[in-house]
Amino acid sequence: MSSVERAKLTQLGNIQKKTGKTMDELAAFVQSSGLSKHGEIRSMLMEKLGLSYGDAHNLALYVLKTDVQLAVKEKGLSLSEVLDEIYYGPKASLRPIHEKMISAIQQFGEFEIAPKKGYVSLRRKRQFAMLGPANNTRFELGINIKSLAADERLIEQPAGSMCNYKVRLTDVSQVDETVMGWLRMAYEAAG
């Protein structure tokens, strides 16, 4: 079990202690609220249970089962099987972009691949990139690093976004030295 997984389990255990409720009771509480969107559930948990933003966020992920790392363990899926679910049907043509990027990033050193519902998060001490299909024809790379030099391919994201920049790709040939340079800088800054 990775340190990130241990931290999440510890956090969920602490939430149970703080609230005096089991995970089943917390899940039932969320389900009885009638809310279905992550942000609404997070806000409700903060308001009704007095949870911090981080605790409410992770509890909402757990209850909604959008934190695929927990679902992967429950279903017994491998990373390859999770990627099969992310890159299914018309999105399958985007998987070679993902594979080329991961192969190149592995040359940088150690990192964690944290699968989510529709993408994967790449982490060292903190997240440095997100990879996944934006739609059926476009792959999206999220990069967490500040102050990259301007480039027409970089789409700066608003403050508070999960990534500082996004890069949209449609073909494996677009995974070039410039893109990998941005990823290397993000990787090094996250470590």
Q: Report pTM.
A: 0.64
Contact assessment for residue 88 and residue 132, using Cβ atoms and an 8 Å cutoff: no
State pLDDT tens for residues 74-102: 566 677 888 888 899 999 999 999 999 99
In contact, 120 and 74? CB cutoff 8 Å = no
**C-alpha triplet 150, 161, 71: angle, nearest 5°:** 125
Nearest alpha carbon to residue 49 among 63, 70, 65: 63
Which pLDDT tens digit goes with each residue over 145-173? 988 888 999 999 888 788 899 999 999 99
Q: Where do the domains of the chain lie?
A: 3-64, 79-189
What is the rounded CA–CA span in Å between residue 33 and residue 114? 29
